[in-house]
Amino acid sequence: MFCTNCGASLPGQARFCNQCGQAVGAPPSGSPTGYELVPGEFEHPSMQQMNQALRRSLVLNRMAESLSQKIGKPWYESCFNSVEVTEKQYARVFELAGIAARRIGFARVPAVYIEADRGYQSNTYGSERDSFVNIGTFLPKLLSDRELLFILGHEFGHLKCRHALWTTASMFLVGQARGNLMSEGILSYISNPLKVLESGVESIISSWMRVAELTADRAALLVTGDITLARRTLFLLYFRSRKELDEVDVDAWTKQQEAQASTVTKVSQLLTSSTPYLGLRLRALDEFHASPRYAELRDKVDKGSGLDLAPLFDEKGNLKKFVRPARPPGAADRPPAALKVITGSCPHCRGGIRVTLEGLPAQGLAPVTCEACGKTFPLDMDRLLGRKPAGSAPARPPEKPTVRKVPAVAGGCPDCGRRFALPVATLPDKPAVVIRCQGCRKRFRVNLDPVCKKESPRAR
């Protein structure tokens, strides 16, 4: 009998867990009402045995307690180049973290950081009370959104099973942090760290870590629900290149690894790696996917979380929420609206012209001057801005009213010299006419014989 909250071994008649104090049969605190994915449901068969081995080691538990007092989010933020994922920082990763948390049954999204120091790795750090996840900066660039969801599901699987403390201990004692300045700084808080390593603790943690990775892979598969995606993502994590993925058939490669599996391979993994080899991880994941247990848990996750992944991602595996709409052909070459230009030729000299639309009227006819010939011609803005069909005739500028010249008798006043003009059509049919000057008001005689003979219809 095991505790559903922390996995500790319990007596048959126990009512409460001696390790975490959780009531037997009660869902873990913080889980959403009506849905809880219990670690014991998806853990690797060897996980409970490994947990018991860790708890039986008094030296290891003292070391874990010392680490739990030193390692937390403040320590992590001060020692590593990292950025916490929020709605405004790495918004895509934050959205994926929310999806993974909901699928795995968390009440809130765990803290996630993007770390620059180890670009292709992801890890879970902290203690049972203060745990968090870090994602390398290269992973969001290498992986699609749905592939990155598998990575988050894997790390959240560690959190779900309360692996954070022991994964931290593994990283500092037998993992990649061993031997560097940071690990020495942490180990200096532990009395006689060399004695800890010599006592066989390293072997215990390495064995536990390999089984914990297989357990977290199962959680990630339940989060994504896609075995093909899971296999592809694991392959990319190890080879770190999509080009390699395009060159290799993952199914054929896995079968090749199964044929080559031997005792030597297992011993090599035991001595050289704290994480399972890729071939082992793929085989273990395939076995879990083919089991009836996976089908039951997959149905539980889909119904319990109430979250269908298919509508959230496009065919390339990216979140539709963050995919920009496709531009029409050639749209990428167009300048911004404020800098749009029109090119063509002058209707007078046929020379090339380039006109910036900024500053021109939004409708009607805009006068444009050709720099080559200096002549001005109208530009139909309605047609350019799509308000008129392309085949419609261009609007013509309004014609100026024509002034018809009327024949007249003109001259000047003989006294003051003021000019006068008498329309021929209004003159009487006489040889002469007397008019009054508009200036000096004096009368004088105007001879009409030459005009009448030239302009009058009667004279013609």
Does 9 reside within a domain?
no
Q: What is the DSSP letter of 118?
A: S
Does 397 reside within a domain?
no
Do 272 and 128 lie in one domain? The reply is yes
Distance CA 96, CA 261 (A): 36
Does 124 reside within a domain?
yes
Do 168 and 281 lie in one domain? The reply is yes
Do 199 and 341 lie in one domain? The reply is no
Quote the distance between the C-alpha of residue 376 and its chain's center: 49
pLDDT of residue 298: 94
Do 416 and 451 lie in one domain? The reply is yes
Divide the 460 residues of the chain into consecutive groups of 10 and give the mean pLDDT of each group.
Answer: 49 56 50 72 90 77 70 64 89 94 90 86 78 90 94 95 81 53 42 48 79 94 95 90 81 69 49 68 92 95 90 92 70 52 80 76 80 81 67 56 67 85 78 84 80 43
Do 225 and 259 lie in one domain? The reply is yes
Helix (H) or strand (E) holding 217: helix 202-224
pLDDT of residue 81: 79
**Token pair of 410, please?**
């003109």
Does 251 reside within a domain?
yes
Domain boundary, last residue among 292, 322, 352: 322
Do 223 and 253 lie in one domain? The reply is yes
* Distant-in-sequence, close-in-space partners of 350: CB < 8 Å, separation ≥ 6: none
Please name which of 143, 144, 122, 145 lies closest in space to residue 133, comparing C-alpha atoms: 122
Do 290 and 353 lie in one domain? The reply is no
pTM (predicted TM-score): 0.60
Please name which of 104, 109, 107 lies closest in space to residue 94, comparing C-alpha atoms: 109
Domain count, the chain: 3
Do 191 and 73 lie in one domain? The reply is yes
Asked if residues 196 and 61 have their Cβ atoms less than 8 Å apart, the reply is: no
Whole-Å CA distances, 10 to 55, 58, 64, 216? 13, 19, 22, 23
Does 232 reside within a domain?
yes
Residue 438, domain extent: 408-455
Do 101 and 230 lie in one domain? The reply is yes
Place of tokens 């009506």: 34
